[in-house]
């Protein structure tokens, strides 16, 4: 019995599959067992044609291909090449068990790229399972970004057969390529960034408090909510936060590239975090993922490592808003179905935007609000206290005035965010300030005596929850970092309290 390895999806992660083969005496037949989907069953005809087109006589034996483990459903055309190799090399007594083989076969024996190869192989690499892989030559450019894996590109079935025949002398097809963007290095780890600001804060006139809050949000990855009249710049500021977010580690860049593929996009390998902005009419399944047979990733999962922006926040359904509490707190989303139970990472920066009332004019100094007190209260009650308690910064924005001036550019803001990121890393901090756990808060959020006294007064006066206390400490940490202070002072704490919704 011969064995090579391939992989299939289990949620958004890869599950290793052993491709085993036996060719025994008996009536000629060809069967694939092991919970293979229709796309794999169809591989029999592609494999037969590919072998016959390349001068291989199809063995007149009973051929059985087993995809183990047999209790995991397999799907995808990436199994074609491994199945064909198991049949073509049956006569060899070599061991192929260190090889992973991926590729879809054409009827002429050509090896084609599969859209899902990149996320599959990246997942295997993250699990430190894969070392050597035979892949379609056309996929080498993308795959070469994945570290610690040797890739051997083949154009057709014959090349793959020759490679395994001479596996002791085979050399990788391509060197691993580095990310070509600017970076800085801290403790041997590289952090990449770009200086591209397609949407610039210099375009935002006035709204100094909101811009300051946006800077704090970006520097510490703090959830933020903008409230203001229509046209005051809520969405404008939210969309510009993307360009001033902290630099990205190579693991984060590869994760974003994997999400690009899962979203049917070409992976960019660029240190730009994603921004997802679902419409308020989106269903629960489209936002969080789901499906009756295979749980598919939703907007919350696709926002991992980036921004989830919900505009017109109170107009989202109650079920969506309440379900948002878990990923905002735990940075992951669990989807349970009868046929599958999966867990997706969802470590995102949440940005919300809302009007102060249904007509939008409650805070407008020049226009009269047409809403009754009951309508305003009903509108605001769509956001529950547990949901709002998970938001670090709340900003009430003023109406735009003709004499408002531009102040800071995205380049200036980004420079400050990078300085905070370096400050955090040199302090020995692995997480963004907003993501610190209780032990890390005790270690890194050091308060001066005056700040401690102020926090005690705030706890008593505003009836802060335990979560609220921790969030104020973390926001204060970011504000202190912006000034390069190791200890959180009273002024930092007071500014953090000013952004707390009461």
Helix segments in 145-293, DSSP class H: 157-165, 208-220, 234-241, 250-262, 284-288
Closest Cα to residue 102, out of 143, 146, 72, 71? 143
Q: Which one is predicted more confidently, 351 or 36?
A: 351
Task: Give pLDDT, residue 292.
Answer: 61
Please state whether the peptide bond connecting residue 69 to the residue before it is cis, i.e. omega within 30 degrees of 0.
Answer: yes
> Is pLDDT above 80 for 93?
no
Beta pairing partners, 134 = 101, 152
Closest Cα to residue 161, out of 221, 105, 242? 105
Mean pLDDT of the chain: 91
Task: Give pLDDT, residue 116.
Answer: 80
Task: Give pLDDT, residue 458.
Answer: 93
Task: Give pLDDT, residue 293.
Answer: 62
Give the pLDDT band (50/70/90) at residue 366.
Answer: confident
If one counts every other C-beta atom within 10 angstroms of the C-beta of residue 317, the result is 15
Calpha distance 419→16 (Å, rounded): 41
Closest Cα to residue 84, out of 36, 60, 49? 49
Q: What is the pLDDT of residues 56-70, one digit of tens each?
A: 877 888 999 999 998
Q: What is the pLDDT of residues 401-452, one digit of tens each?
A: 778 888 899 999 999 999 999 999 999 999 999 999 999 999 999 999 999 9
Tell me which residue has tokens 């989830």: 308
Helix (H, G, I), strand (E, B) or coil at 446: coil
| Average pLDDT, integer, range 183-208 | 92
Which domains, from first to last, does the chain contain? 2-165 (3.30.230.10), 216-400 (3.40.50.300)
Task: Give pLDDT, residue 147.
Answer: 84
Among 155-159, 307-311, 403-407, name the one with the lowest average pLDDT.
Answer: 403-407
What is the pTM assigned to this prediction?
A: 0.88
Q: What is the pLDDT of residues 251-302, one digit of tens each?
A: 899 889 888 888 888 888 899 999 999 999 999 989 998 766 666 789 999 9
Rg of the chain over Cα atoms, rounded to whole angstroms, equals 27
Classify burial at 353, counting beta carbons within 10 Å of its beta carbon; exposed 0-12, middle 13-18, buried 19 or more: buried
Among 81-95, 305-319, 348-362, name the one with the lowest average pLDDT.
Answer: 81-95
258-289 burial: b if 16+ Cβ within 10 Å, else e = bbbbbeeeebebbbbbbbbbbeeebeeebbbb
Q: What is the pLDDT of residues 112-129, one digit of tens each?
A: 988 788 889 988 988 889
Q: What is the pLDDT of residues 179-195, one digit of tens each?
A: 789 999 998 899 999 99
């Amino acid at each position: 019995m011969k064995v090579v390895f391939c992989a299939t999806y289990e949620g958004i992660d890869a599950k290793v599959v052993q491709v085993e083969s036996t060719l025994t005496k008996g009536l000629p037949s060809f069967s694939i067992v092991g919970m293979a989907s229709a796309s794999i069953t169809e591989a029999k005809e592609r494999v037969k044609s590919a072998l016959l087109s390349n001068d291989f006589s199809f063995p007149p034996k009973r051929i059985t291909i087993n995809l183990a483990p047999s209790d995991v459903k397999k799907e995808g055309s990436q199994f074609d090449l491994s199945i064909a190799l198991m049949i073509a090399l049956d006569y060899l007594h070599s061991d192929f068990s260190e090889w992973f083989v991926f590729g879809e076969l054409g009827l002429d024996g050509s090896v084609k790229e599969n859209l899902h190869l990149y996320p599959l192989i990246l997942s295997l690499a993250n699990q430190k399972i894969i070392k050597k892989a035979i892949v379609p030559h056309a996929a080498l450019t993308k795959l070469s970004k994945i570290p610690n894996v040797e890739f051997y590109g083949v154009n057709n079935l014959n090349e793959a057969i020759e490679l395994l025949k001479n596996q002791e002398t085979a050399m990788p097809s391509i060197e691993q390529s580095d990310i070509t963007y600017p970076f800085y290095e801290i403790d041997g780890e590289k952090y990449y960034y770009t200086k591209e600001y397609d949407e610039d804060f210099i375009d935002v006139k006035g709204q100094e408090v909101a811009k300051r809050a946006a800077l704090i949000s970006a520097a510490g990855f703090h959830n933020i909510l903008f409230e203001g009249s229509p046209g005051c710049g809520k969405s404008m500021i939210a969309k510009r936060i993307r360009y001033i977010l902290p630099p990205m580690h190579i693991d984060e860049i590869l994760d974003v590239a994997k999400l690009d593929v899962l979203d049917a996009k070409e992976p960019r390998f660029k240190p730009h975090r994603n921004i997802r902005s679902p419409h308020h009419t989106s269903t629960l399944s489209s936002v969080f993922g789901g499906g009756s047979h295979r749980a598919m990733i939703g907007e919350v999962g696709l926002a991992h490592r980036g921004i989830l922006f919900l505009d017109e926040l109170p107009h989202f359904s109650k079920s969506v808003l309440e379900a948002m509490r878990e990923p905002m707190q735990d940075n992951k989303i669990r989807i349970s179905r009868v046929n599958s139970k999966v867990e997706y990472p969802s470590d995102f920066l949440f940005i919300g935007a809302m009007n102060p009332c249904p007509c939008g004019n409650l805070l407008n100094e020049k226009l009269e609000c047409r809403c009754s007190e009951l309508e305003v209260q009903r509108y605001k009650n769509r956001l529950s206290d547990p949901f709002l308690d998970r938001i670090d910064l709340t900003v009430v924005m003023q109406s735009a005035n003709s004499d408002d001036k531009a102040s800071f550019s995205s380049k200036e803001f980004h420079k400050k965010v990078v300085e905070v990121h370096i400050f955090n890393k040199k302090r020995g901090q692995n997480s963004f300030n907003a993501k610190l756990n209780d032990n890390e808060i005790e270690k890194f959020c050091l308060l001066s005596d005056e700040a401690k006294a102020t926090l005690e007064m705030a706890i008593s006066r505003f009836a802060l929850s335990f979560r609220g206390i921790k969030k104020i400490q973390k926001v204060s940490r970011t504000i202190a970092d912006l000034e390069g202070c190791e200890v959180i002072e009273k002024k930092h704490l007071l500014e953090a309290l000013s952004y707390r919704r009461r």
